[in-house]
A and B are shown apart, each in its own frame.
Chain A
Amino acid sequence: MSTHRPARRPLGFVLVLVAVAALLASCGHLTNPTAEVDRAIANTVAVPRSFVYTETTEAATITVQGSVADDFRYKALVSTGQQPAFEEVVSDDAVADRVLSPDGLNLFRGTGTSASTTSGAAGVATGFANPSGSGPTPADALTAGGWVLDPAGAPSLLPSASSRHTLGSDPIYDSLTVFQYVDQAMHQAFDVRKYNPDDLRYRPQDDPFPRPAAGSGVTRYDLDRRNIPHLQQQAGNAANQSVPDAGMFRKMGIYVKNGRIIQVLEQIDVASRLPDLSKSYNITFKGSVQQSVDAAITAINSVGAAIGRDPIRVRTMSIKFVDFGSVPDVKLPAGATVGSLGFLENRGQQVLAKTGG
C-alpha cells in the first residue's frame, strides 16, 4: 500500500496547479503582459531620461550614449568599439553634428535624398558648399572635427516617402525609437510573458538574459519567438508568409521597475534555428555555424527584399535607461559652421511626399 502514496502526491499537486491556472485565466485581463509593457513604455517616454544603447553585429559594436529632454531635444554620443565617433545635439528644428573619427562619417553618410534647408542650392544640399560663399563647407568642417549646425535639418521622426529607416543605418534614430521597435517586436512575437522560471514553457537553455535579482523590484517580460513554419504549413500559403521574419529569431527581455522600462535586451539568434530552417526548406548548410547563419540570412533577406520586407539584422542589442526625470542640458554648440547636413543619413530638411490627405 505504501508504494502507492508517492504516486498520488504529484497528482494532487497538479490539481492544485490546474485550479490556480484556471483562476488566473479567469482574470487574465488584469495581468496582460503586453498591456503592462505598453503602460511601462508610456510611462517611460513621458519623462526626460538618459540611456546607453549598444548594438553588436558580426562587423562592429556601436554604442550610443544619449540624454533626452523630450522628443525634439536630445543629445547623443556614438562610439564604435571604445572610440567616440560622432556627436549630435538636436534642439527642435536645428541639428548640430560633429565627427570624432573617420568611422563617424562613414556611419552616417547618407544617400543624399534630403533637400536643401533654406537656399535650395544643390551645393548646399550636398554639403559641399557654404551658403555664405566663404569659409569651410559643412563637409570640410565635419571632416576637420568641427561642429556643423543645420538650423532646419533635425532628423525626421515621421516616416516619409523620402526617408526609410532601415535598422542599423542610423544608430541614433534606432536608439531614440527603440520603444517603437519593442512594440513592433511584441506584435511579431508568438507571446509576451512575465519571466517565470517555474513556467513549464520556460527553457533555461534558450534564455540568454540575466534573471532579475531577488528583491530588486524588477519585473522581466520575455518575448517568445514564433516557430519556423514546417513545409506542410507552408503549402498553399502566399509567398510572403513562407519567408521567415525577425519574430522567428528574436529573443527579447524587457525589464521594468517602478512602472518604467529600465532595460531591453535583444538577441537575433539564427544559429539555434538552423536545424529548423534546414528541415523546413530542405537546405543543407555547409561550413561553420557562422557561415551557415550568414548563408541563411543572405537568402532570407534576398527573398524578403523582393517582397518589400526590411532585412533581418543579426545582432545583439541592449538599451539601459537611467536618470528618469532629470532634464538634461541640451544646448546647441556655439561657433559651429552653419550649413546643410543633408548629406548625412536622415538629416537635412526632408521632402514630404504628397499624401493626398
Chain B
Amino acid sequence: MRRLASIAAIIPALVAACGGSPTHVVGGGVLGKNIRPLSTTNLPQTMLGLGVRSEDVSKALTAGSRSYVSATSVYSFRRADNLLQATLQISQFQTSARYQSDKFRQTLVAGVGGTVPLLVHVGGQQVWLTTGDLQRIAVWFHGAFLFILAERQDFPLSRALLRQALQITP
C-alpha cells in the first residue's frame, strides 16, 4: 500500500510541474485534496488472472499541490496470494489543461521513470515505455485521460497486460 500511495502522490505534482507556466497552474490548478476519484471506469474484476481492485489513495492525494488533474483513481492487479503485480493509475485532466499538446505530453512523460522514455506503437496506440525502481512503466493518453501502468519488473506478462489495459476507456 505504501508503494501505491507514493505512485499516486507523484502524479498530481508531476502534472503541475509539467504545465509550463506556473501562473497557469495557480490560476487553474486543482488542490490535491480536491482531486476526486474517477466516477466510472469499465475495468473488469480480473485481467490475465489477476484480481483488479480500486485502491484508496485519497490520503496520498491530499499531500499534492495544485495540478491539472481533476480526478484520479489507482487500481491494483494482484495474484491470488495477494502479491502486487501492477498498478494502473488513470487520471482525468482539467479541461483547461493542454493535454492534447505534444509538448505537454512529452514533458509529462519525461518526468515519469528513471530512463529516457521510448515511444512505441501498440494496437494503434502511442505508448511511452520507461523504467522505475524495479518496475516497468508504460504511459499513454486517451482523450482527457492519462494512463500510467507500473508493473513489477519480473511480471512475465508485461506486454499482454499493457495490451489489455489499452482497451480500457473510462
Hey, which bits of chain A sit against chain B, CB under 8 A?
45-46, 70-72, 92-93, 117-118, 151-152, 154, 157-160, 349, 351-352, 354-357
Contacts A72-B120, A158-B115 known; list 15 others, CB within 8 Å.
Answer: A46-B121, A46-B124, A70-B122, A71-B121, A92-B160, A151-B156, A154-B159, A157-B118, A158-B130, A354-B133, A354-B134, A355-B114, A355-B131, A356-B133, A357-B114
Q: How far is the CA of A45 from the CA of B118 in the complex (A)?
A: 13
Q: How far is the CA of A352 from the CA of B133 in the complex (A)?
A: 9
Q: How far is the CA of A50 from the CA of B133 in the complex (A)?
A: 36
Q: Is the Cβ of B154 less than 8 Å from the Cβ of A349?
A: yes
Pick the residue among B113, B120, B159 that contacts A357 (CB under 8 A). B113
Q: Is the Cβ of B131 less than 8 Å from the Cβ of A72?
A: no
Q: Is the Cβ of B120 less than 8 Å from the Cβ of A157?
A: yes
Q: How far is the CA of A151 from the CA of B160 in the complex (A)?
A: 11
Q: How far is the CA of A45 from the CA of B136 in the complex (A)?
A: 22
The 5 closest A-B pairs by CB, nearest first: A357-B114, A355-B114, A152-B156, A92-B159, A71-B120
Whether A158 touches B129, Cβ cut-off 8 Å, given contacts A70-B123, A71-B121, A355-B114, is yes
User: How many interface residues does B have (CB within 8 Å)?
Assistant: 25
In the complex, chain B residues whose CB is within 8 Å of the CB of A351: 153
Q: How far is the CA of A225 from the CA of B131 in the complex (A)?
A: 34
Q: Is the Cβ of B157 less than 8 Å from the Cβ of A158?
A: no
Distance to closest chain A CB from B11 (angstroms): 14
Q: How far is the CA of A93 from the CA of B157 in the complex (A)?
A: 6
In the complex, chain B residues whose CB is within 8 Å of the CB of A92: 157, 159-160, 163
Q: How far is the CA of A223 from the CA of B156 in the complex (A)?
A: 41
Q: How far is the CA of A114 from the CA of B131 in the complex (A)?
A: 17
Contact with A along B102-132 (1 / 0, CB 8 A): 0000000000011100101111101001111
In the complex, chain B residues whose CB is within 8 Å of the CB of A72: 120, 122, 159, 163
Q: Is the Cβ of A356 less than 8 Å from the Cβ of B114?
A: yes
Closest A residue to B154 by CB, please name it.
Answer: A349
Interface centre among B113, B114, B121, B133 (most CB of A within 10 A): B121
In the complex, chain A residues whose CB is within 8 Å of the CB of B163: 72, 92
Closest A residue to B134 by CB, please name it.
Answer: A354
Closest A residue to B114 by CB, please name it.
Answer: A357
Pick the residue among A70, A349, A355 that contacts B124 (CB under 8 A). A70
Whether A93 touches B132, Cβ cut-off 8 Å, given contacts A158-B115, A159-B115, is no
